[in-house]
Amino acid sequence: MIALVRGTLAYKSSNHVIIDVGGVGYRLFISLSTFYSLPETGEVSLFTHTHVREDAMLLYGFLSLEEKNLFVILIGISGIGPKVAINILSHIPAGELKRAIATGDVKRLTGLPGIGKKTAERLVLELKDKVGPLEDLPGALDSSSATGVPAGDLLNDVISALVNLGYKENHARKVLENMKLTPNLPMEEVLKGALKVLIR
């Protein structure tokens, strides 16, 4: 089983990358979180999960071991395959997903792609013990650090502006989550920063 791939980033898209390892290109499916954290070029190293099917052997890549471990846990749940798991991790940071599970936040979980109420309830039931107690999670006592973006009206205003410009809400939110912004930044600066990423 391939557990890690290190090489030159030959191609990068929102759902997969190709890494050149000694002249051999490995295609790894990735989440949006990993996509936004990867450089445009250069050497990269990704933790991997090898998924074997009757007709194919697929590699899934993760920049952090935490995200990989969550992926493995998710696909162990009945009704959640690799595609659904990678979509979940594309729409919620690993730490926030752990918090939602630890607190039994079914409403937050049902907002994720491919997750209905029953599946969300099953996630909480089966994974609550695996993610650990809430107080052990990073940022558990500071709700503003849960997503790494400004909370409240500023965040909503920027997302609303991006949606009005034609961008999808989930995509806009994911961009902001990966910008590591602070609440005291003016809206114009936040919006400009998000647009720079979105128009690449």
Residue range 64-96, pLDDT digits in tens: 888 998 899 899 887 888 998 999 998 888 888
> SS3 of 6, please?
strand
How far is Cα 2 from Cα 12, in angstroms, rounded to an integer?
Answer: 20
How far is Cα 90 from Cα 30, in angstroms, rounded to an integer?
Answer: 8
- Predicted confidence at residue 183, as pLDDT, reads 56
Q: What is the mean pLDDT of the chain?
A: 80
CB 139 within 8 A of CB 146: yes
For the cut 50, the answer to whether the pLDDT of residue 149 exceeds it is no
- Predicted confidence at residue 144, as pLDDT, reads 39
- Burial of 121-142, coded b for 16+ CB within 10 Å and e otherwise, reads ebbbeebbeebeeeeebeebee
The pTM (predicted TM-score) of the whole model is 0.65
Domains of the chain and any CATH numbers:
4-62 (2.40.50.140), 65-136 (1.10.150.20), 147-198 (1.10.8)
Tokens 């939110």 identify what position?
173
For the cut 90, the answer to whether the pLDDT of residue 43 exceeds it is yes
Tokens 């009704």 identify what position?
79
- Predicted confidence at residue 16, as pLDDT, reads 95
- Predicted confidence at residue 22, as pLDDT, reads 93
How far is Cα 69 from Cα 111, in angstroms, rounded to an integer?
Answer: 22
Q: Residue 46 burial by CB count (10 A; 0-12/13-18/19+): exposed, middle or buried? A: buried
Banded model confidence at residue 200, pLDDT cuts 50, 70, 90: low
Joined together, the tokens standing for residue 147 give 């997503």
- Predicted confidence at residue 151, as pLDDT, reads 45
Question: What contacts 72, CB < 8 A, 6 or more positions away?
Answer: 49
Q: What percent of the chain has pLDDT over 70?
A: 82
Residue 60's nearest CA partner among 36, 81, 39 is 81
Q: What is the mean pLDDT of residues 38-46?
A: 92
